[in-house]
Structure 1
Amino acid sequence: MMQQSEWVLKRNCSLSPRQFGMAYLLLCVVTAFWASFFTLNGAPLVMAFAMIELLLVGGAFLHHAIHAADHDRVVLDDRFLMIEYFRAGDVTTVMLERCWVRVSAPRHSGDQLLVQSRDKSACIGSCINGRARKQFARELGVALRSV
């Protein structure tokens, strides 16, 4: 009986959700201060543009927060290669028969790792950089060949 191998491929997020919120709050305070200053000194459109800016930046921050925990989980046992995609709170699972799995290493740094098994295929590694993808392709290939 073979031991199970597992990889978790995830982004490197430099700010915690709390730090991200604090940065946005600081941006709101500074922007509101300067927008109020210019509005009180005769430039009323500055406040409108400042609010539009904060809404757009807030939307971008929200999108980032929703996808900050996205990752791929790859589990290899003696019969199957299981790939779980965690995206914005949803989980999708792909099961491939180990004996038929073929790994196509990424050719360019932006390409994902392609794994195929008979009539199924899956791409892995959208959450990691090109160098880590190539290293994972080598590791997965070695693990698949071991019995």
Structure 2
Amino acid sequence: MRIYYRGPDATVTSDYFIYRTPTASKTFLVRDLRNVGITSVDSPGLPIALPLAGLAAALVAAWPLWKVSPLYAIGVLGLAGFGVAAAALVRRGRTRTWLLQAIYRGQSVDLYGSVDARVFNQVSRALRRAIEDARPPSSWDDAAAA
């Protein structure tokens, strides 16, 4: 049995794809995997409505201050602008989870997931090589190169 990748959370061999989580281990036969694809999911972060609601509250609070002193209103709106900018930076820094999905024995499954793009790419390349090597050889493909 040939080993294409061995790591702390996944092992890809010529026969099996094994994904280990802290609670369980999933094992898939490589020859039974169909339509393997890569997707990504953004991790839940700060909803966009929250900073916008804060900005609306700052505008409501600044309206009466404008009548008292425009400088107070500008100061409140400036602080609200800093808050919105900070919320935008927090939202931008969200991590992305990369997923390997496939059809396994007629069921749609998540084969592997990782937030580390480098490790995810190593696992996905290893699985791609295992699937390609598991295909039966065809004499037509061999003659097509000539």
TM-score tier after normalising by the smaller chain length: 0.3 to 0.5
Please identify the structure whose Cα radius of gyration is greater. 2
Greater relative contact order: 1 or 2 (C-alpha under 8 angstroms, separation 6 or more)? 2
State the TM-score, normalizing by the size of structure 2: 0.40
State the TM-score, normalizing by the size of structure 1: 0.40
